[in-house]
Structure 1
Amino acid sequence: MDEATGYIEYMGQASVKIETPEGKVIYIDPYAGDDYADAADLILVTHGHFDHNALDLIENRSDDCVIITQNEATESGGYHQFDLGFAKVIPVQAGFNRMHDVRSCVGYIIELSDGTSVYVTGDTSTTEDMRDGTLASMGIDYAFWCSDGVYNMDTQEASDAARMVGARVNIPYHNSTANRPPMFDETLAESFDAPGALVLNPGDKIYLD
């Protein structure tokens, strides 16, 4: 742990953990991995499928822990932003395929208090706001790209979408349909071809810079 900078940990499948520079803990799409001991300050869920929504894994939660799912993110239509001080949560489009309806799925951009931004696509194919430059205009630092080619984009489509968005660091994730660890296909990950591509294996961390 580096309290001065914070970190992002890839836990497997679509599960990501962020520790902010203040030491706040954010879990995204809990399911894979076993690093859930730290008290959650924020939990984000992109949609209701079981491999994104295992909230029972997070038993340790701060007294003011906030849970945001696709339901809160899209309540009454539109996309609702949430400013928690240590992080601003910006829901964005996800879905656009036969398994994931845009009306019941979101991705998230998390803007940390030090200016670092992290984008998790959730389960999706290419979205309108990838194509039209909306996401590119946001200057994203780290982006996680789903790429299993069965329930969402394959690596080629994910690579093309990553070029549209132009994040500084692009990370393939959710690229396995297996329900047992490691729930990650390193061969597919290595075929992800985008500027700033970085392969993280489950358990790997990036310290924020």
Structure 2
Amino acid sequence: MILAVSAYLVSSAVVLVRAPQAPSWTEAVATLIGAAGVAGVLLAAVGGGSRLIGATRDRRVADREGSGGGRVFGANLLDDARLILGTFPVQGSQTRRLPMTGTFIADADGLSIWEGPVADPFKIAFVPWSAIVEVQASRARIGALSSRSLHITLHDSRVMSLQPLGSGLLNMFAIAPADLTRLVQMLEEIRAHEVAQGHRSADLA
């Protein structure tokens, strides 16, 4: 969508500039429209390229780590999510600062985040299900806009907001509402099952 609109702006600018006997004000308008179009094309190219790398890493992690039935998805870390995940580091983590976008695995143990090169991604943080109270679909503000998001509420009342990706150009935008609903249901089912299993184990101990 961004790429299509940007390309339209660029072509409109070209038409204005080449118009016969164009008034002088059209040059200024054409310059503004063309600049907006070029900026949009660059934004789509950079964002799309970054997401392409992220999607490739998602598949790599899924092939290598997701064979146990875990759900793998790519997501942007919104609001305080990076700070919150930073309080759940894994032993031997190779990074001090969490990325803006990462690969997540939700499995029987909990929720983990991965980053790094496509050829050799590594786990940088892990949140056990015992630390999570609820997973729900919501909306979060990103700049001047709002987007579908995943809100994860922790036992200490902190809320971690993620934006699962998977729609639009190169799947660089938030996943569709139906996909988000299915993701939330899956995560809640895994969480509820594992929490119940933990309680049973504690009762038998």
TM-score (norm 1): 0.22
